[in-house]
Amino acid sequence: MKSAKDYLEEANKVVTRISAEAAIQHHGDNGNVFIDVRDSNDIAKTGTISNALRIPRGFLEFAADENMPMHNAALKKDAQIFLVCGLGGQAALAGKTLQEMGFRNVTNVGGIGEWKEAGGPTES
């Protein structure tokens, strides 16, 4: 039987994690998609990355699947996708899921606190 720690270790092995400073260099580049996978209550408390999609981890599969009516057109298989959450764990798990769905360029930015500390642009 797997534990949450097992799932997280597996995700961290396959999803590249970069520093917030490195991710900021990609913010605003054409074709890059930033996604905050936290729920709306957490985002309301801390804000999020400017222009980030707000797709909770529990809804991600539906938004990423082009055959679902809730598909988000910004989620293209060849897009460079940067994921953020509270501390990096949910972003890693979401990244692994996206990779399993065929997304090739998925990166974990870590937590929103790191982004803010690095001076990344934010919005409420």
pLDDT digits (tens, 9 = 90+) for 19-37: 999 999 999 998 899 999 9
3-state SS, the chain, equals CCCHHHHHHHHHHHCEECCHHHHHCCCCCCCEEEEECCCHHHHHHHCEECCCEECCHHHHHHHHCCCCCCCCCCCCCCCEEEEEECCCHHHHHHHHHHHHCCCCEEEEEEEHHHHHHCCCCEEC
Q: What is the pLDDT of residue 79?
A: 96
Q: Which of 70, 118, 116, 63 is nearest to 94 (CA)?
A: 63
The whole-angstrom separation of Cα 97 and Cα 31 is 20
Q: What is the pLDDT of residue 65?
A: 98
Model confidence at 18, pLDDT cuts 50, 70, 90, reads: very high
Model confidence at 119, pLDDT cuts 50, 70, 90, reads: very high
pTM of model > 0.85? yes
